[in-house]
Structure 1
Amino acid sequence: MTRALHDVAHGTLLGVALNYQGLLEQRLAEFEQTPYKQPPVKPVLFIKTPNTRNSHQGQVIQPRGERLQAGPALGVVIGKSASRVSLENALAHVAGYLIVNEFSLPEDSYYRPAVKAKCRDGFCALGPELVPAAQVADAGQLTLELFVNGELRQQNSTANWVRNVPQLIAEISEFMTLHEGDVLITGTPEGRVDVVPGDRVEVQISGLGRLSNSIVAEQEPRP
């Protein structure tokens, strides 16, 4: 990660689960069961801890004996503190946008995301650069593409979000302050792709560039 990007995206990495219509629809039957009884009515959030931070061209380690999945997402970088902001004023708190690859082991529960699945070292790649908010006409009309070794493996659009950027900022800032430098990860679409050591994994979002990472195997522990 370049120093300039770290300077502006240095805060909490806050992820939003189930923010694509297709993914939510796949889980509706599950949410009708005990203990949930209904789909979530507020954003389902999780944290990517500081050790997960990774950069453009960084390596991502696949843990031994585990499946590793890529997670293409749009990242929203907060430019000034947001507390109880309105929908109308929410975008005034956005500094810009970047690409995120939110790596994870397969998830068993979206209501209680597993720390061991989401928070491994290097599991949140950010980059390649911050694109100022003024240069993105509509964050809700962007195409996301995931390439593995140059082959297109996943494609979706932010037009399929459950909640757009102003809605997310307004709803989250109702109960917690978003600070300058925080990164809001707006969710990964349905159809997560497994990746393995030796793979080159790239996320491209229209107008934001292309984030590239390589997958490597976890080394055997030293005796």
Structure 2
Amino acid sequence: MKRAIVEYQNKQYHVTVNDDMSVNFPNGEVKSETEVTWLPPANGIMIALGLNYADHATELAFEPPKEPLIFIKTAGTYVGHNGHSWRPDHVDYMHYECELAVVIGKTATKVSKEDAWDYVEGFTLCNDYAIRDYLENYYRPNLRVKNRDGMTPVGPYILSKEAIKDPMNLGLKTWVNGELRQSGNTKDMIFDVPFLIEYLSQFMTLNPGDMIATGCPKGTSDVKAGDTVIIEVEGVGKLVNHVLTEEEYYKTRGL
């Protein structure tokens, strides 16, 4: 099952999603993908992984980590499917990151790897945009790099975990304006999902609606205002995002 949150005629609805991306409303109505505004399908905190693919670490001239490199993203940075992100004025390098995101389904504290999947509700997609201008030495993604408003496309929906036979063997791809720029596979994660749930839950409680963004493979490149970025996780779906100028983005927010 695919569960999403959409806005229609200024009201929010929890809906299910069909294979053609049309949505089923609780009253039985069906609307097309473009008739609704897609909202983030979960709004907990996002625990994001840095350098969780060795080839991406090498691409950035860093050593692959010996233990997870973790940072937090908050709900204010999320934007839904077909939504708008933005390139800040006067930055030199902004890139996408195609990531499988794991959605937590029940409270998890001190969970073992063996039991980790029991705490997962399902999967979604995350495009973890980064502004490399503000990166500090040895991958320290401060807020200006990773937690800007509207800079984390997530969605379109939560796919139930039962729909994916092997989450640790899924293809990842990113297209910019129709050009394939990034390709990889979740089997190449340094720290897999069960390890991450065990690791994180030893010192922090994971709550329903929290997400773990599991990192991206090599193939990142600069994106500009006007670009359309599509990320795909095999078997999960595609997430579309449009990049605006800073001025355009804030106009959409009435600022």
TM-score where L is the length of structure 2: 0.78
Give the superposition deviation at 1:41: 3.2
Answering whether residue 212 of structure 2 is matched by residue 184 of structure 1, we say yes
Partner residue of 1:56?
81
- The alpha carbon displacement at 1:8 in A equals 5.9
Would the aligned equivalents of 1:14 and 1:45 in 2 still touch at CA under 8 Å? yes
Q: CA deviation at 1:26?
A: 5.2
Once residues 151 and 166 of structure 2 are traced to their aligned partners in structure 1, the CA distance between those partners, rounded to angstroms, is 27
Q: Give per-residue Cα distances to partners, 1:58-108, cap 9 Å, x unaligned.
A: 111100011221111000000001111111100000000011101110134
Is 1:68 aligned to residue 94 of structure 2? yes
Q: 1:95 — aligned with what?
A: 121
Would you say how many aligned residue pairs link Structure 1 and Structure 2? 214
Report deviation, 1:42: 2.3
Establish whether residue 211 from structure 1 lines up as the match of residue 221 from structure 2: no
Residues 40 and 154, structure 2, Cα contact 8 Å, conserved in 1 = no
Identity %, equivalent residues = 36
Moved runs in structure 1, 4+ residues, more than 2 A?
1-8, 23-28, 39-42, 107-112
Structure of greater relative contact order (alpha carbons < 8 Å, 6+ residues apart) = 1
C-alpha displacement of 1:27? 6.4
CA distance in 1, matches of 2:157, 2:120: 15
Q: How is 1:26-175 mapped onto 2 (pairs within 5 angstroms)? A: 40-66=65-91, 67-106=93-132, 107-175=135-203
The equivalent residue for 1:18 is 51
- CA distance 1:90–1:54, change in 2 (3 Å): same
CA drift of 1:25 comes to 4.4
CA contact (8 A) 2:41 2:155 kept: no
Residues 14-69 of structure 1: CA deviation (Å, up to 9, x unaligned)? 101111021344567x55xxxxxxx6432110111222010100111100011221
RMSD across aligned positions (CA): 2.2
Scaled by the length of structure 1, the TM-score of the pair is 0.88
Question: Where does structure 1 lack aligned partners over 5 or more consecutive residues?
Answer: 32-38
Instruction: State the alpha-carbon separation in 1 of the partners of residues 141 and 225 from structure 2.
Output: 24
* Structure 1 range deviating more: 88-97 or 213-222: 213-222
User: Is there any run of 5+ residues in structure 2 with no aligned partner, and where?
Assistant: 7-12, 16-38
